[in-house]
Amino acid sequence: MALLVFGTPNERRGLVAVMRMVASACGTRPFEGDRADLVGMFAGLQGCAGCHGFAEPLDFSDLLTLDEPWPDADSGIVEIGQLLATPEQRLEAVHAGLLVALYSVEQDPAGLDAARWISRQLGAGDSITLTATLTAGQHARAAQADLFRRFLSSRIDIPIDTIRAFAARKDLGAITAPDTISHYHGLLDSAPDGSLGSEMRRFYSDASFDVPGTPGTPLPVEFLGAHDVHHVVSGYDTMAHGEVYTAVFNAGNSSAGIGWLSVVLLQWHQGIKVGVFNPAHAHLDPAIIADAAYRGSRTHVDVYRADWDWMSLLGRPLEDVRAGLGVPPGGTVLPGNSWNPS
């Protein structure tokens, strides 16, 4: 999310305003609870002078009150449209609003509808918002399958028809070529102590996960291996909430990260089965959510790109890898602690 780091005061206000509008479902419900807490955390992060080099912190307190900041939703959209001038800014703000809707522990059709309405009013034309709305509605089963397959196709740069063909055989893991699997396993086995690869071995051991590429693993190495590397370099564990925090880190790091964030929030936070894993609920910490987004935005290498060569880093010291990517200190897993604290 570029607005999180580089946005002007007006652009930052527009992002917070969209989040507020989704949290209150365009003024049709009270601004309170977890959704309000999340908006407050992002408002504090967006206004932090020390984080962004402002002379003074930005004040968004008028967007955080119990009273609605606008006479009606149409008035709010007019202000937001004036604050967010470009289609890219508007789309980023809509993504932030979608995060608020998906943050609810239960399905939030009113919030998703609000995010979709805002997207249409701003001309953002976001298909992810539409798909997430359908997932929580009457077309849930088809939308869930479509969301995950389209996401996986874009994530690893494999044609959607190929994804559908392997999915029909219930063998998505077979997308990875045997030579790639052997190469990956060899790199892990030979990685020296203190390296990213050695920490990956501990990651798989702590979580009792099969190494990607092992027969029966549900997804291709190109996706699952890279995703596991994201956990380790960002420092978030393998529990359901750790999946969400890792996804928020990705969303802050890459414009494409909202795809995985949508999948993860639906599956591990709302308990809607979207991907190949068992869904689970997680109660999320707004402060960790905001910090994960900020840390992702400060990471200067897009680790979400399909062409990012993460395998070449497995033999290098973990701290050197983090420094080279620009990952700020933080995360929830301290050095030597378990990646699966359950």
Is 165 domain-assigned? Answer: yes
Considering the domain architecture, whether residues 168 and 130 belong to the same structural domain is answered as: no
Three-state DSSP class for residue 122: helix
Quote the CA–CA distance of 201 and 305 in Å, as a whole number: 23
Is 338 domain-assigned? Answer: no
Any idea which of 56-60, 75-79, 104-108, 298-302 has the lowest mean pLDDT? 104-108
Considering the domain architecture, whether residues 47 and 184 belong to the same structural domain is answered as: no
Considering the domain architecture, whether residues 115 and 219 belong to the same structural domain is answered as: no
What pLDDT score does 296 carry?
92
Most distant CA atoms of the chain, gap in Å: 63
Considering the domain architecture, whether residues 259 and 125 belong to the same structural domain is answered as: no
Q: How many CB atoms lie within 10 A of CB 120?
A: 15
Is 336 domain-assigned? Answer: no
What pLDDT score does 270 carry?
67
Is 15 domain-assigned? Answer: yes
Domain end marker among 117, 138, 159: 138
Considering the domain architecture, whether residues 275 and 160 belong to the same structural domain is answered as: yes
- pLDDT category at 247 given cuts 50, 70, 90 is confident
Considering the domain architecture, whether residues 95 and 169 belong to the same structural domain is answered as: no
Number of domains in the chain: 2
Whole-number percent of the chain with pLDDT over 70: 83
pLDDT tens string 154-180: 888 899 889 888 888 888 899 999 999
Is 296 domain-assigned? Answer: yes
Is 335 domain-assigned? Answer: no
Considering the domain architecture, whether residues 97 and 196 belong to the same structural domain is answered as: no
Better pLDDT: 246 or 282: 246
Considering the domain architecture, whether residues 55 and 175 belong to the same structural domain is answered as: no
Three-state DSSP class for residue 327: coil
pLDDT tens string 42-79: 888 788 776 667 778 889 999 999 999 999 999 999 99
Token readout for 104 is 């609810």
Considering the domain architecture, whether residues 157 and 129 belong to the same structural domain is answered as: no
Question: Using alpha carbons only, how large is the chain's radius of gyration in Å?
Answer: 20
Considering the domain architecture, whether residues 154 and 293 belong to the same structural domain is answered as: yes
- pLDDT category at 139 given cuts 50, 70, 90 is very low
Three-state DSSP class for residue 76: helix
Range of the domain at 103: 2-138
What pLDDT score does 126 carry?
60
Answer yes or no: are the C-beta atoms of 162 and 229 closer than 8 Å. Answer: no
Quote the CA–CA distance of 302 and 256 in Å, as a whole number: 9
Considering the domain architecture, whether residues 162 and 309 belong to the same structural domain is answered as: yes
What pLDDT score does 138 carry?
46
Q: How many CB atoms lie within 10 A of CB 124?
A: 23
**Can you say whether residue 272 is alpha, beta or left, with left for phi > 0 and alpha for psi between -120 and 50 degrees?**
beta
Is 72 domain-assigned? Answer: yes
Considering the domain architecture, whether residues 280 and 163 belong to the same structural domain is answered as: yes
